[in-house]
A = this chain, B = another copy of it.
Amino acid sequence: MLTDLDEAGLLDYRSAVVDPEDFDAFWTAQLQRAAEHPIDVRATAVDSLLETIDVFDVRFAGHGGHPIRGWLYLPKHRTTPIPGVVQYQGYGGGRGHHLESLLWSSAGYAHLMMDSRGQGSGYRRGATADPVGPSGPTIPGQMTNGIEDPAGHYYTRLYVDAVRAVDALRSFSTVDVTRIAVVGGSQGGALALAAAALRDDVAAVVAHVPFLSDIRRASRITDAMPYKEIGRYLATHRDATERVFATLAYFDGVSLARRITAPTWLSAALMDSTCPPSTVYGVYHELAGEREIRLWEFNGHEGGGPDDDERALRALRAVFDRTNGIGRSKG
């Protein structure tokens, strides 16, 4: 049932999110610090039980040089170089079992499925630790891990991991570095937006029902997790409200969108109470490049599901054919 704006309202809505003054400086500094660690990609072939796909257990150095795990899937019968896709996970999930994500490689892509540090026990198991403890008390989950300090926040680490996952994929010779897309749903969508905003070599972006967008609005209009983690923290730490949202401003998809020039495909769902549609349209209206959004009228947070997947496959086929692998640059 409708609990957010309707279609007309979504088209009119513009987010009130304001970028922190030092937004770009913050991220430049974070990425530079991370760059002090070589990417150090290692890939080990897996006895996958598959005949059409080669699977590798990958690790690379993410934020702080911490080892980040992932699966690399390559179509066995390939003529290099092939386009690449980096995919990110939804909240609580990890890279999963290697048999769970066969889509992109079956469609001919070099596919890196990045694990989310510290997550990966909720519905797809992960294998990556987040060895950094929070700077204060937290609500269980990642939203308030480091909530009173941007540099120490969990999402600084995860966003940097996401950016560096593209470097990891680029390091494989089989990959056409001019044709790399970033994709994901929910938290994965936020990470795709982050990678596209903080790099200048991403060729396309697919973000389904993205999380972490228009965050303060979201935390007020829904009781669904994980946005509600913020509200639960503030219900106890009553004096922390402004500090908390000042921290979260560095991760807001609306600010990221203003920095994305690659073509971007979004989806939203009219009855999504986890990532309410207005917060996705808040992102959409700020995108700096080509953009398309699909609103699913009767869906919740599952969004378009396999129909979103098909739409993503078609979108990337079109953009990669059209561009013949252009190197997109920012600014």
A233–B134 CB distance below 8 A: no
Main secondary structure of the interface of A (DSSP, over half): loop
Q: A97-B306, A232-B122, A306-B96 are known contacts. Are A137 and B129 too (CB-CB below 8 A)?
A: yes
Residue positions of A touching B, CB distance < 8 A? 1-2, 49-53, 75-77, 92, 94, 96-97, 99-100, 102-103, 105-108, 118-142, 144, 219-223, 230-239, 241, 270-271, 296-300, 302, 304-307, 309-310, 313-314, 317
Q: A99-B306, A236-B122, A238-B296 are known contacts. Are A51 and B133 too (CB-CB below 8 A)?
A: no
CB distance from A214 to the nearest CB of B (A): 14
For the complex formed by this chain, how many copies does it contain in all?
6
B-side contacts of A106, CB under 8 Å:
50-53, 102, 106
19 contacts between A and B (CB under 8 A): A2-B221, A50-B108, A52-B52, A52-B75, A94-B137, A97-B306, A99-B309, A99-B313, A123-B236, A124-B236, A125-B137, A125-B237, A130-B133, A131-B132, A131-B134, A220-B270, A220-B297, A234-B297, A238-B307
Q: A2-B220, A137-B120 are known contacts. Are A102 and B102 too (CB-CB below 8 A)?
A: yes
